[in-house]
Amino acid sequence: MSIVEVQQMVGNTVGQMSESLPALILVTAALSLTLAYFSKLAFRQPRSQGTDEKYPPHIPASIPVLGNAIAFGKSPIEFLENAYEKYGPIVSFTMVGKTFTYLLGGDAAALLFNSKNGELNAEDVYARLTTPVFGKGVAYDVPNSVFLEQKKLLKMGLNIAHFKKHVEIIEEETKEYFKRWGDSGERDLFEALSELIVLTASRCLHGPEIRSMLDEKVAQLYADLDGGFTHAAWLLPGWLPLPSFRRRDRAHRELKNIFYKVIEKRRQTTEKEDDILQTLIDTTYKDGRSLNDDEIAGMLIGLLLAGQHTSSTTSAWLGFFLAQERSLQDRCYSEQKDICGDHLPPLSYDQVKALTFLDCCLKETLRLRPPIMTMMRMVRSPQKVGDYTIPAGHQVCVSPTVNHRLRDAWSSRLEFHPERFLADNPAAGEKFTYVPFGAGRHRCIGENFAYMQIKTIWSMMLRLYEFELVDGYFPSVNYTTMIHTPSNPVIRYRRRERL
Ligand code: HEM
Ligand SMILES: *[C@@H]1O[C@H](CO)[C@@H](O)[C@H](O)[C@H]1NC(C)=O
Backbone angles phi, psi at 399, to 5 degrees: -110, 110
188 three-state secondary structure: strand
202 alpha-carbon distance from chain centroid: 17
Q: Is residue 4 part of a domain?
A: no
Q: Residue 278's domain spans which residues? A: 9-495
Side-chain half-sphere CA neighbours of 81 within 13 A: 15
How far is the C-alpha of 338 from the C-alpha of 420, rounded, in Å?
21
Ligand 2 lining (C-beta closer than 6 Å)? 478, 480-481, 485, 487-488
Between 4 and 450, the higher pLDDT residue: 450
Minimum mean pLDDT range among 17-26, 230-239, 330-339: 17-26
User: In sequence order, what DSSP letters do the residues of 290-351 get, joined into one string?
Assistant: BPPHHHHHHHHHHHHHHHHHHHHHHHHHHHHHHHH-HHHHHHHHHHHHHHH-TT-PPP-HHH
Between 446 and 129, the higher pLDDT residue: 446
Ligand 1 atom at minimal distance to the Cα of residue 302:
35
Start-to-end CA span in the chain (Å): 51
| C-alpha of residue 223 to centroid of ligand 2, in Å | 15
Q: Amino acid identity of 414? A: L
| C-alpha of residue 468 to centroid of ligand 1, in Å | 30
User: Do residues 491 and 469 touch, judged by C-beta distance below 8 A?
Assistant: yes
How confident is the model at residue 47, as a pLDDT?
A: 52
- Mean pLDDT (the chain) is 88
Q: Is 186's pLDDT higher than 50?
A: yes
3 three-state secondary structure: helix
Ligand 1 atom at minimal distance to the Cα of residue 400:
10
Give residues with Cβ within 8 angstroms of 323, minimum separation 6.
329, 467, 468, 469, 491, 492
Q: Is 464's pLDDT higher than 70?
A: yes
The total number of structural domains in the chain stands at: 1
Minimum mean pLDDT range among 103-112, 388-397, 479-488: 479-488
SS (H, E, C) 425-483: CCCCCCHHHCCCCCCHHHCCCCHHHHHHHHHHHHHHHHHHEEEEEECCECCCEECCCCC
How confident is the model at residue 336, as a pLDDT?
A: 97
80 pLDDT band (50/70/90 cuts)?
very high
How far is the C-alpha of 218 from the C-alpha of 207, rounded, in Å?
15
Q: What is the mean pLDDT of residues 6-29?
A: 34
How confident is the model at residue 254, as a pLDDT?
A: 93
Q: What is the pLDDT of residues 350-387, one digit of tens each?
A: 999 999 999 999 999 999 999 999 999 999 999 999 89
287 alpha-carbon distance from chain centroid: 32
Q: What is the mean pLDDT of residues 146-150?
A: 96
Q: Which residue's alpha carbon is nearest to atom 33 within ligand 1?
A: 444
Q: What is the pLDDT of residues 31-41, one digit of tens each?
A: 444 444 444 44
Minimum mean pLDDT range among 65-79, 119-133, 169-183: 65-79
How confident is the model at residue 232, as a pLDDT?
A: 74
Strand partners, 388: 385
Strand partners, 93: 100
Q: Is residue 2 part of a domain?
A: no
Give residues with Cβ within 8 angstroms of 142, minimum separation 6.
150
429 pLDDT band (50/70/90 cuts)?
confident
How confident is the model at residue 36, as a pLDDT?
A: 44
Annotated ligand binding at 444? The verdict is yes
Q: What is the mean pLDDT of residues 42-60?
A: 69
50 pLDDT band (50/70/90 cuts)?
low
Q: Is residue 367 part of a domain?
A: yes
Q: What is the mean pLDDT of residues 444-465?
A: 98
How confident is the model at residue 28, as a pLDDT?
A: 37
SS (H, E, C) 99-157: EEEEECCHHHHHHHHCCCCCCEECHHHHHHHHHHHHCCCCHHHCCHHHHHHHHHHHHHH
Q: Is residue 1 part of a domain?
A: no
Between 64 and 310, the higher pLDDT residue: 310
Angle (CA) 10 12 16, round 5°: 115
Between 94 and 16, the higher pLDDT residue: 94
| 375-379, strands of its sheet edge to edge | 90-95, 98-103, 395-398, 375-379, 120-121
25 alpha-carbon distance from chain centroid: 34
499 pLDDT band (50/70/90 cuts)?
low
Q: Is residue 226 part of a domain?
A: yes
Looking at the whole model, is its pTM more than 0.85?
yes
How confident is the model at residue 65, as a pLDDT?
A: 78
Q: Is 107's pLDDT higher than 50?
A: yes
Is 276 a pocket residue for ligand 1 (Cβ < 6 Å)? no
Angle (CA) 180 451 201, round 5°: 50
How far is the C-alpha of 10 from the C-alpha of 232, rounded, in Å?
8
397 three-state secondary structure: strand
Q: Is 414's pLDDT higher than 90?
A: yes
Is 157 a pocket residue for ligand 1 (Cβ < 6 Å)? no
Mutate to test the pocket of ligand 2, among 473, 481, 490 (most ligand atoms within 8 A of CB): 481
How confident is the model at residue 93, as a pLDDT?
A: 95
Q: Which residue's alpha carbon is nearest to atom 4 within ligand 2?
A: 481
How confident is the model at residue 49, as a pLDDT?
A: 53
308-to-1, 223, 266, 424 alpha-carbon distances in Å = 22, 11, 25, 30
Ligand 2 atom at minimal distance to the Cα of residue 487:
14
Q: Is 43's pLDDT higher than 70?
A: no
Q: Is 198's pLDDT higher than 80?
A: yes
Q: Is residue 3 part of a domain?
A: no
Q: What is the pLDDT of residues 253-300, one digit of tens each?
A: 999 999 999 999 999 988 888 889 999 999 999 999 999 999 999 999
Q: What is the pLDDT of residues 129-146, one digit of tens each?
A: 899 999 999 999 999 999
373 alpha-carbon distance from chain centroid: 8
Ligand 2 atom at minimal distance to the Cα of residue 478:
1
Between 18 and 243, the higher pLDDT residue: 243
Q: Is residue 429 part of a domain?
A: yes
What CATH number corresponds to the domain at position 113? 1.10.630.10
| C-alpha of residue 356 to centroid of ligand 1, in Å | 23
Between 44 and 77, the higher pLDDT residue: 77
Between 233 and 4, the higher pLDDT residue: 233
Q: Is residue 121 part of a domain?
A: yes
> What is the torsional sign of CA 444, 173, 299, 228?
positive
231-to-146, 271, 415 alpha-carbon distances in Å = 27, 44, 31
